[in-house]
Each structure stands twice: as structure tokens, then as C-alpha cells.
């Protein structure tokens, strides 16, 4: 296991809409707090004041956004978020728990919008000066099951949630492909399992990373 480039630990949660990322982020934060760890829980987009503005544009704008413009908006948010929030927290030694990061852009814009994996990934890596998570938890869920969960929430879909089934199928397959290519970084979990079972698997992996 290679040494981390910062004193803290960077954990991201990925997966389709409705997979349970927010729930697992909260459970991990609670567990780490009980262990006496200093944590920062954040999200993309929306982890800064600038990010909230970008989030409103990319998720709630009424009208089309060109796919390349969408990818650039996410990358701009990511650059500002990492520079002003994430990297300072990692340098302090915090455990950063983040809902979505660059793998979401590769899946949603690279595959979902068919912009291409390499181009979108390179754009994000440039935006964050190469910062990769120490652990990425992929909550894998069939898009039909995810849509049923979203329907149960009785809230209007955002721009990405409202995309067609084929879009979400491409996103899921890209997430799984990314995980297969970087098995040391990814922890893939069946998001249809009980939340406490998923949380136990996540905390076991995080505990192992913190011990090294």
C-alpha cells in the first residue's frame, strides 16, 4: 500500500441517483465521529457558495445545456471546491467524506452524454491538480430500482434524474468499468442491501485505511 500524499483520508461515494450515497455519507460521518476522528462531509456540486450556484444551473436550469458546457461547469465547480475546501481539510488531517467526485463526471458526461471517458477524466484531473480519492465507494443499483426509490420520495426529478433509461444504463456500466480498472481504489457494494450492512462494509475498509 503506497503512502498517501496528504495527512488526511479522502473518501468519495459514487453511484446512480437514488443509490443511497447521502445515507451512507451520514452513517460514515457518525461512525468516524464516534472514533474521535475529525471529519469534513461535503458534496459535488454544491460544496461551496460557488458550487451551490453551479448546482442550481446544472441540475435545475429549465432548458438545454450543451453537453460540453455541462462538463465544464462540473469541472469548474470541482476546481474551486478542491482548492478551497477539500485539499485544506486533507492537509489538516481530516477524513473528507464526499458525495460525488470526478468519477461521476466520467460516468455522467463521459458515458451518459457520450463525450468520451478520457477527455472528461483529463479535464477533471487538470481541474484538481491530479487529486484522486484514497477510497471510492461505488453503490451499485439497477437503474429501475433507483428510479422506484426516487419516485417514492415524491419530489420532482432534476435534469439528470429525468434522463431516459438508456442514459442511466450507460452511467451504471461506466461506473462498473471504472471500478474494474481501479480495484485498489474502489469498493463496489450492492446498494439494494440493508443500509446497516453497507455501512459495515464501508467502515471496515475505512478502518483498514486509517490503520496504515
Interval 59-101: pLDDT, tens: 887 778 999 999 999 999 999 999 999 999 999 999 999 999 9
The single residue listed with the C-alpha cell 450492512 is 197
Separation between Cα atoms, residue 208 and residue 205, nearest integer Å: 5
* pLDDT at position 59: 84
* pLDDT at position 210: 95
Residues with Cβ < 8 Å from 176, sequence gap 6 or more? Answer: 138, 140, 188
Percentage with pLDDT > 70 across the chain: 94
* pLDDT at position 18: 83
Strand order in the sheet with 135-140: 39-43, 95-99, 9-15, 135-140, 186-190
* pLDDT at position 159: 63
Residues with Cβ < 8 Å from 80, sequence gap 6 or more? Answer: 48, 50, 51
Interval 144-177: pLDDT, tens: 887 777 766 667 666 667 677 888 999 999 999 9
Q: Is the pLDDT of residue 197 over 80?
A: yes
Q: Is 168:16 a contact under the CB 8 Å cutoff?
A: yes
Q: Helix (H, G, I), strand (E, B), or coil: what is residue 25?
A: helix
Please state the pTM of the whole predicted model: 0.92
**Dihedral in degrees, nearest 10, Cα atoms 54, 55, 61, 63:** 80
* Topology at the third CATH level for domain 9-210: Rossmann fold (3.40.50)
Sign (positive or negative) of CA dihedral 26, 180, 46, 151: negative
- Whole-Å CA distances, 13 to 29, 115, 155: 12, 22, 22
- Whole-Å CA distances, 160 to 17, 65, 113, 157, 168: 8, 11, 10, 8, 9
Per mean pLDDT, which range of 21-30, 46-55, 131-140, 181-190 is the poorest? Answer: 46-55
Q: Which residue has the higher pLDDT, 148 or 7?
A: 7
Q: Is 203:30 a contact under the CB 8 Å cutoff?
A: no
Q: Is 116:123 a contact under the CB 8 Å cutoff?
A: no
Beta-strand relationship, 186-190 and 95-99:
unpaired
* pLDDT at position 28: 98
Domain range list for the chain: 9-210
Amino acid at each position: 500500500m503506497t503512502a498517501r500524499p496528504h495527512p488526511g483520508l479522502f473518501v468519495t461515494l459514487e453511484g446512480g441517483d437514488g443509490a443511497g450515497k447521502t445515507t451512507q455519507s451520514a452513517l460514515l460521518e457518525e461512525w468516524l465521529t464516534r472514533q474521535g476522528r475529525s471529519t469534513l462531509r461535503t458534496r459535488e456540486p454544491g460544496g461551496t457558495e460557488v458550487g451551490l450556484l453551479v448546482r442550481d444551473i446544472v441540475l435545475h436550469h429549465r432548458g438545454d445545456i450543451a453537453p460540453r458546457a455541462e462538463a465544464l461547469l462540473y469541472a469548474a465547480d470541482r476546481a474551486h471546491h478542491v482548492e478551497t475546501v477539500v485539499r485544506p481539510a486533507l492537509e489538516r488531517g481530516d477524513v473528507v467524506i464526499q458525495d460525488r467526485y470526478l468519477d461521476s463526471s466520467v460516468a455522467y458526461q463521459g458515458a451518459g452524454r457520450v463525450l468520451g471517458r478520457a477527455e472528461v477524466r483529463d479535464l477533471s484531473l487538470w481541474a484538481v491538480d491530479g487529486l484522486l480519492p484514497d477510497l471510492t465507494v461505488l453503490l451499485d443499483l439497477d437503474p429501475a430500482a433507483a428510479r422506484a426509490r426516487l419516485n417514492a420520495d415524491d419530489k420532482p426529478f432534476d435534469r439528470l434524474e429525468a434522463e431516459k433509461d438508456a442514459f442511466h444504463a450507460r452511467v451504471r456500466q461506466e461506473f462498473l468499468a471504472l471500478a474494474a480498472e481501479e480495484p485498489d481504489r474502489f469498493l463496489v457494494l450492492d446498494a439494494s442491501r440493508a443500509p446497516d450492512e453497507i455501512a459495515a462494509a464501508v467502515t471496515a475498509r475505512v478502518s483498514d485505511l486509517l490503520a496504515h
